[in-house]
Amino acid sequence: MIRPIYLYGSEVLRQKAAPADLSDREHITELVRDLWDTLAKADGCGLAAPQIGVSERVLVVDGRGLEDVYDYLKDFTRVMINPTVLEASEQTCEYSEGCLSVPGIYSDVVRPSRITVEYWDENLERKVEEFDKFACRMVQHEMSHLDGVLFTDLVAPIRKKILGRKLQNISRGKVGTSYNSKIK
Per-residue pLDDT tens digits of the chain, which is 184 residues long: 999 999 999 999 999 999 999 999 999 999 999 999 999 999 899 999 999 999 999 999 999 988 888 889 999 999 999 999 999 999 999 999 999 999 999 999 999 999 999 999 999 999 999 999 999 999 999 999 999 999 999 999 999 899 999 999 999 999 999 999 999 8
Catalytic residue among 90, 118, 129, 142, which? 142
Q: What burial class does residue 159 get, using C-beta atoms within 10 Å of its C-beta: 0-12 exposed, 13-18 middle, 19+ buried?
A: middle
138: part of which helix (H) or strand (E)?
A: helix 133-146
Q: How many other CB atoms are there within 10 angstroms of residue 90's CB atom?
A: 7
Q: How many other CB atoms are there within 10 angstroms of residue 124's CB atom?
A: 13
**97 annotated active-site:** no
Can you give the pLDDT at residue 69? 86
Q: How far apart are CA 141 and CA 137, in angstroms?
A: 6
Q: Would you say 138 and 65 are in contact if contact means Cβ atoms under 8 Å apart? A: no
Can you give the pLDDT at residue 65? 86
DSSP string, 10-39: -GGGGSPPBPP-TT-HHHHHHHHHHHHHHH
55-88 pLDDT tens trace: 999 999 999 988 888 889 999 999 999 999 999 9
Q: Would you say 168 and 85 are in contact if contact means Cβ atoms under 8 Å apart? A: no
Q: Would you say 5 and 181 are in contact if contact means Cβ atoms under 8 Å apart? A: yes
